[in-house]
Amino acid sequence: MAVCTVYTTQSLNSTCSISTPTKTHLGFHQKQVVFYTTTRKSIKRNNSYSSEISCSAEETKTVVIGLAADSGCGKSTFMRRLTSVFGGAAEPPKGGNPDSNTLISDTTTVICLDDYHSLDRTGRKEKGVTALDPRANDFDLMYEQVKALKDGIPVEKPIYNHVSGLLDPPELIKPPKILVIEGLHPMFDERVRDLLDFSIYLDISNEVKFAWKIQRDMAERGHSLESIKASIEARKPDFDAYIDPQKQFADAVIEVLPTQLIPDDNEGKVLRVRLIMKEGVKYFSPVYLFDEGSTISWIPCGRKLTCSYPGIKFFYGPDSYFDNEVSVLEMDGQFDRLDELIYVESHLSNISTKFYGEVTQQMLKHADFPGSNNGTGLFQTMVGLKIRDLYEQIVASKAGATLEAAKA
Ligand SMILES: Nc1ncnc2c1ncn2[C@@H]1O[C@H](COP(=O)(O)OP(=O)(O)OP(=O)(O)O)[C@@H](O)[C@H]1O
Ligand SMILES: O=C(CO)[C@H](O)[C@H](O)COP(=O)(O)O
């Protein structure tokens, strides 16, 4: 007997239909039954019903993830790693504005919060405010639109055009399974913050931010060293006032610091990366090394992990962060051979992989992304897997709750 599980009692939609006969099913009116199954099967349960069904998806609200960081701190790279965990390529809306900042894949839609700039480039210049200043952003609209998407309602979202510096006509955004809002202020406005199912802050230390900016803006965009320094300095007061404080609200923080393995290092190539994970967050159980809750220092270099100077050092332990209880996983140094990462992966627990070696596989798949040889890539990948797990748990719990409600 094939068993069909009923998860919701929402209206029958286009993705799900039931063929003859037209009797009631499990005590519900046929038109109010939606099945969570992808197969077309004959079902028989409680001797009450037998039918052919064809269903493709459960109805569930959009899960909303917030990713905060300053410009040039690796948000796009993180997004590429995250969407890859869900499979399929993320692309701008088809046939839309070529300068759209939105990326859509089967499961995720990533919107850039720069689209809620209320002042364009000229407007900011005239008023003497930076894009980081809340006065240059429309938080009412951000809240209304994120809420609408979370409630399953499409929105016409504005577009901030980074090429022209103008606000372009809006684009249609349909509610996805997972909505990622990335940018400067996903956790600034309390109303928007409360809509987030999970939040991440990329905390790049000034030294490292400077090194990355130089690498990108000098090498790839032809800016001078002086102009890069000036732009970082000009943004700093607003960054400190409006962006940085958001990290206290994040469920996970990826902190990127200069290495401690090389005394007085000022090259910024070898990094010490800390994954700070809040305890007690619903659907999120922090990753741990060897033994949950213990304090552990681990140098994995040797027979199973090739390490050239200055080596690799891991640390794991409990801590507190803005008065919150957290677990911290830290990696200082860089991998010589990415395929050997499996050795490290096998000593980590709670990593929410679907098969042995999935972290290593993801890292190898994107070996050309910035940070793939160090803790930035490793921890971004692990957070991506945790988000997939969180999403799956939310979907399962909503489905279960609806079933319970239907039974009552
Ligand atoms: N983990 C990393 N290791 C080394 N360099 C990195 C890393 N992540 C990002 N970078 C550098 O920073 C630059 C910006 O990265 P990315 O485009 O992902 O950031 P962003 O926050 O999306 O930037 P923006 O908001 O300006 O578009 C990259 O081109 C690269 O030079
Ligand atoms: O901090 C930023 C977020 O990416 C940008 O500086 C802000 O969006 C303004 O963009 P532009 O410099 O293209 O006018």
Q: Look at residue 404 in the predicted model and tell me its pLDDT.
A: 82
Q: What is the pLDDT of residues 277-303, one digit of tens each?
A: 999 999 999 999 999 999 999 999 988
How close is the Cα of 207 to the center of ligand 1, in Å? 14
Burial (CB count <10 Å: 0-12, 13-18, 19+), residue 20: exposed
Is residue 273 within 8 A of residue 285, CB to CB? The reply is: no
Backbone angles phi, psi at 94, to 5 degrees: -65, 135
Task: Determine the atom of ligand 1 nearest the C-alpha atom of 73.
Answer: 21
- Taking alpha carbons only, the member of 300, 396, 402 closest to residue 346 is 300
How close is the Cα of 76 to the center of ligand 1, in Å? 7
**Ligand 2 cavity residues, CB under 6 Å:** 71, 114, 121, 131, 162, 165, 184
The residue contributing the CA closest to ligand 1 atom 14 is 72
The rounded distance, in Å, linking the Cα atoms of 159 and 169 is 7
Q: Look at residue 219 in the predicted model and tell me its pLDDT.
A: 74
Q: Is the ipTM of this complex over 0.85?
A: yes
The residue contributing the CA closest to ligand 2 atom 12 is 162
**Mean pLDDT comparison of 13-22, 50-59, 276-285, 304-313, highest-scoring range:** 276-285
Query: Could you tell me if the CB of 371 is within 6 A of ligand 1?
Result: yes
**Across 132-145, average pLDDT:** 98
Q: What is the pLDDT of residues 243-272, one digit of tens each?
A: 999 999 999 999 999 999 998 887 778 999
- Exposed e or buried b for every residue in 335-360, given b needs 16+ CB within 10 A? beebebbbbbbeebebebbeeeebbb
What residues have CB less than 8 Å from 275, skipping those under 6 apart?
252, 253, 254, 255, 287, 328, 329, 330, 375, 379, 382, 383
> What pTM was computed for the model?
0.85
The residue contributing the CA closest to ligand 1 atom 1 is 371
Q: pLDDT confidence of 47, banded at 50, 70, 90?
A: very low
How close is the Cα of 138 to the center of ligand 2, in Å? 15
Q: Look at residue 51 in the predicted model and tell me its pLDDT.
A: 39
Residue 80 identity: R
How close is the Cα of 338 to the center of ligand 1, in Å? 20
- Domains, the chain, in order of start with CATH, read 59-203 (3.40.50.300), 251-362+380-407 (no CATH)
